[in-house]
Amino acid sequence: MRNRDLLGPWVRRFLLEHIVAERNLARNTQISYRDTLTLLLPFAAQQASCSVDKLAVNGIAAPAVRAFLAHLEHDRKCSIVTRNQRLAAIHAMARFIGRKAPEHLGWCTEIMTIPFKKSAKRLIGYLDKAEMDALLAVPDPQTRLGFRDHAMLLFMYNSGARADEVANLRVNQLQLGTSPSVRIVGKGNKTRVCPLWERTAQALRTLTDGGQPDTPVFRGRTGEAMTRFGVHRVVTDCGRQAKVGLPSLQGKRVSPHNIRHTTAVHLLRAGVDINTIRAWLGHVSLDTTHVYAEVDLEMKAKALAAVELPSMNLPDGQNQLPSLMAFMKGL
C-alpha cells in the first residue's frame, strides 16, 4: 500500500502540520480534534477488520463514519451537540487530505456529504441570588481548601470565567491594587479584562500571598495547578451540599458553566447593557449573549406587568367573554 493511501501519516500531518502550524487553532480545539480521532480510528479499524496502523484513507468511508456517529449517540450516550463536534473534526481532516492529495478528492466529497444533525434548543440554567449565596456559603473558609473553594466560587461568579479559564489563571493575570481586575485568556486566545469586587480581590490577595507571577492562583492539595475537571468537581460537590438546605435548588444542575450563566443573568437584571455583558463573558457575537434576555423570567414578568390588562370589574355571574371581546376590539 502506498504511503499516500495509509491514513496514519495523514493523521499525523493533520494534527501537527495543519491545526497547529498552519491554522494555529486554540488548544482546546486541538484537543477536541485529537480526542475525536482517538475514538474514531480504533472504531474504524474494528469495522475494517485490520489494525489501526494498516488503516487506509478509504477505510474510513461514509458508512463507517455514519456508524461511528451512531455509536457516539447510542452506545456512548453523547449529545447531538457532541456528535456534531466530532463530525466537524472529521470534516476538517477530510478537507485537509482532499486538498493535499487530489486522488482522495472523491473520498473527501463523500465524507463532506454527511450532514450535521439539528438539535433541539435547550434553555440555559442559572441560579437565583439566594441560590448563589447558598452555594458560596458551603465551603468552610477556616480550612485551607475550604478558603480556596470559596475564593474560586466567588471569582467565577464575579468574572463569569469558564472552568478552563479558572484552572489556567496565573498570579500575573491579577491586578489587586486600587482598581482590582483580572485579565482572562479565553477561547481562541482572546483576552478580556473584568473588574473585581473588593470582596473577591481580598480573597485572592490572601490566596496568592507570596506567590510568584507564574504561580497558579487555584492549586490542588499537592500545590499543582487545578485542572478544569477539578474545578468542575469542586462546583458540583458544593452544589450537592447546597441542595440539602435549599429546596429551590432541587432539580437544578450546578456546574461551572451554570455559574457563568448566572453571572450574565444577574448582570442583565442589574441593568448592565447587553454589549458590556458580551465583552464581560468574552462572546464573539451578540447573538450568543442575547440568549440570557430570553431565559430571564424576572425580566419577562416585569414586561408582562407593564402591559397587564385592566380589571373588568364585572358583576358576579355575568358572562365576561362579550365584554372582553369588545375591550379587545377597542385596542
Show the cell assigned to 264. 450574565
For residue 228, CA distances in Å to 114, 128, 163, 189 come to 32, 24, 5, 17
247: domain CATH number? 1.10.443.10
Claim to verify: residue 160 and residue 32 sit in the same structural domain? no
Q: For residue 122, is it within any domain? A: no
**Looking at residue 83, which CATH number applies to its domain?**
1.10.150
The number of folded domains in the chain is: 2
Residues 70 and 178 reside in one and the same domain = no
Phi/psi for 175 (5° steps) reads -125, 100
In a domain, 329, yes or no: no
Structural domain ending residue among the three candidates 66, 86, 112: 112
- Distances in whole angstroms, Cα of residue 74 to Cα of each of 34, 37, 69, 80, 306: 22, 18, 9, 11, 47
Per-residue pLDDT tens, the chain, 331 aa: give them.
Answer: 557 889 999 999 999 989 988 898 888 889 999 999 999 999 999 988 999 989 999 889 999 999 999 999 999 999 999 999 999 999 999 999 999 999 999 999 999 999 999 877 666 788 999 999 999 999 999 999 999 999 999 999 999 999 999 999 999 999 998 899 999 988 877 899 999 999 999 999 999 987 888 999 999 988 899 999 999 999 999 999 999 989 889 889 899 999 999 998 899 888 888 888 888 888 877 767 777 766 665 555 655 565 555 555 545 545 544 543 443 444 4
Active site residues: 162, 187, 257, 260, 283, 292
pTM of the predicted model, to two decimals?
Answer: 0.71
Say if residue 145 is in the same domain as residue 88.
no
- Asked if residue 2 belongs to a domain, the reply is no
Q: Are residues 294 and 170 in the same domain?
A: yes
Same domain, 75 and 105: yes
CA dihedral 202, 206, 211, 215 (to 10 degrees): -70
For residues 25 and 154, membership in a common domain is answered with: no
Residues 70 and 216 occupy one common structural domain: no
- 208 domain-assigned: yes
* Sign of the CA dihedral with 194 first, then 197, 201, and 204 last: negative
Verify that 42 and 151 share a domain, yes or no: no
Residues 23 and 79 in one domain: yes
pLDDT of residue 123: 67
Supply the pLDDT for residue 195: 93
- Residue for grid cell 478509504: 58
- Classify residue 317: in a domain, yes or no: no
Grid cell, residue 82, equals: 457532541
Looking at the fold, whether 45 and 137 belong to one and the same domain comes out as: no
Residue 219 domain-assigned? yes
Torsion of CA 271, 273, 276, 278, to 10 degrees: 110
Tell whether 70 and 165 lie within a shared domain. Answer: no
Residue 289's pLDDT is 76
Is residue 318 domain-resident?
Answer: no
Burial of 10 (C-beta count, 10 Å sphere; 0-12/13-18/19+): buried
Supply the range of the domain harboring residue 149: 129-303
